Structure 1
Amino acid sequence: MKNTLKLLTSFVLATLITACACSSCAPAPNFDEILSPQESEFFSLIQSMCGKTFVGESVYPEDPGHDFAGKKLVATIDYCDNQHIAIPFTVGEDESRTWHLNKTYQGLLFKHEHRLKDGSPDPVTNYGGYSASYKGEAVTATKHFFHADDFTAELIPDAKTNVWMLEVDPENQELTYYLERHGKPRYKAVLQLKE
């Protein structure tokens, strides 16, 4: 009886250990079943341009004192997998910024990563939000609006009404990045695909 009990206990423990170890082997979730068709199409469009670089400049505000004024802007679609896209965004010589587009259970998520010169995270980083329609305009396969999430509102209280827009114009080979705050324009950049 004791031997049977030991064997049964060993079997149960082995099963639990195997189950715990294999939980990390579970198949990745199929986010395309969770995301809207427009979110999946937009992600796929950006993903299809992996390795491509867009170059441009700020077009709003027309303030020569703005931090980005007169600086060359470069966005390279640098890393792509089935769940995440990373787009380093260079402003002049400043390479501290990276945009991230992620498939999540809550929808398509757009984030801004900032790093200090030593490579460590900036105190103000990882802000952004989830895709949703804006001012009655629905998201599409080429244009998405991202509303500031709770993390952003806590990190940067002034940005709690931020809505970022990313748009890809395949015909004109343009990438537009646009930001509104309190429903009013705050920043816009237009970048052209570099051949």
Structure 2
Amino acid sequence: MRMRNIPAVLAVITALPAGAAPADDFLARLNALCGKAFEGRIVDNTAPNAANDPFAGKVLTMHVRECGKDQVKIPFHVGDDRSRTWVVTRTADGLRLKHDHRHKDGSEDAVTQYGGDTATPGTAERQEFPVDAFSKAMFTQQKLPPGAQQNVWAMEVRSGDEFVYELSRPDRLFRVSFDLNRPVTPPPAPWGHQ
């Protein structure tokens, strides 16, 4: 590149809108679904104990329930179990995913607030969240399988088409796909979020 072209390139880069960051675009896609609920189906489920999976045979429903510029809360209902809420928050460097797990009385489960921050910019369609130090320590304290120390969660929002939630690690792949073309009646509030 010739040196005289550098100012022109810098002018183009600085002219990009602030919302052009993949994290902001991803949050905008989630916010576009605000108030809507969708049923999902398991599309991948490999694990040493997949036969005992608590998700198998249950109606799986996500509800984009609480929306904002910097945070979106998405309850994930498994049959009548309303204990799970995915919380996606904008950070200075990207996005954070936390799993808020509650009991019927609204109190926090012993295994809650786990997740991680994005380590790469990701895309407007897909964001990945490697397990963070807080989660690793809690998994050890709660005696979760050693593989949980290598968890990577992902979310995908294919605009107007599909939402995917994914958990992967060396011995596990779990993916649930939600058809965004078929909204359903929103379920009751998740436990602890009346």
TM-score of the pair, normalised by structure 1: 0.74
* 2:35 alignment partner in structure 1: 51
> 1 or 2 for the larger relative contact order (CA 8 Å, sep ≥6)?
2
* Structure 2: runs of 5+ lacking an equivalent: 1-16, 141-145, 184-194
* 1:167 alignment partner in structure 2: 156
The answer (yes or no) to whether the contact 2:86–2:97 under 8 Å persists in 1 is yes
1:4-23 map, 5 Å: none
Q: In the alignment, residue 145 of structure 1 is paired with which amino acid?
A: E
Tell which deviates more after alignment, 73-82 or 158-167.
158-167
The answer (yes or no) to whether the contact 2:29–2:159 under 8 Å persists in 1 is no
1:104-115 map, 5 Å: 104-115=91-102
The answer as to 2:123 corresponding to 1:140 is yes
Q: In the alignment, residue 178 of structure 2 is paired with which amino acid?
A: L
Shift of 1:104: 1.8
Tell which deviates more after alignment, 70-79 or 97-106.
97-106
1:38-187 map, 5 Å: 38-61=22-45, 63-133=50-120, 139-157=122-140, 158=146, 159-171=148-160, 173-182=161-170, 184-187=171-174
Q: Per-residue CA shift, 1:41-71, capped at 9, x if unaligned?
A: 1111111211111211222326443110011
The answer (yes or no) to whether the contact 1:54–1:174 under 8 Å persists in 2 is no
What secondary structure is seen at the aligned counterpart in 2 of 1:61?
strand
Kindly report structure 1 stretches of 4+ aligned residues shifted beyond 4 Å. Answer: none
Q: Per-residue CA shift, 1:168-189, capped at 9, x if unaligned?
A: 1225x2111111113x543111
* Higher Rg: 1
Q: Per-residue CA shift, 1:1-34, capped at 9, x if unaligned?
A: xxxxxxxxxxxxxxxxxxxxxxxxxxxxxxx96x
What secondary structure is seen at the aligned counterpart in 2 of 1:160?
helix
Shift of 1:127: 0.3
Tell which deviates more after alignment, 41-50 or 61-70.
61-70
Shift of 1:192: 1.3
* Structure 1: runs of 5+ lacking an equivalent: 1-31
What secondary structure is seen at the aligned counterpart in 2 of 1:40?
helix
What secondary structure is seen at the aligned counterpart in 2 of 1:41?
helix
Between Structure 1 and Structure 2, how many residues are aligned?
157
Q: In the alignment, residue 32 of structure 2 is paired with which amino acid?
A: S
What secondary structure is seen at the aligned counterpart in 2 of 1:152?
helix
What secondary structure is seen at the aligned counterpart in 1 of 2:83?
strand
Shift of 1:160: 2.2
What secondary structure is seen at the aligned counterpart in 1 of 2:150?
coil
Tell which deviates more after alignment, 158-167 or 60-69.
60-69
Q: In the alignment, residue 164 of structure 1 is paired with which amino acid?
A: W
Output the aligned Cα RMSD: 2.0
Q: Per-residue CA shift, 1:106-142, capped at 9, x if unaligned?
A: 4210110000121101111000001134xxxx61101
TM-score of the pair, normalised by structure 2: 0.74
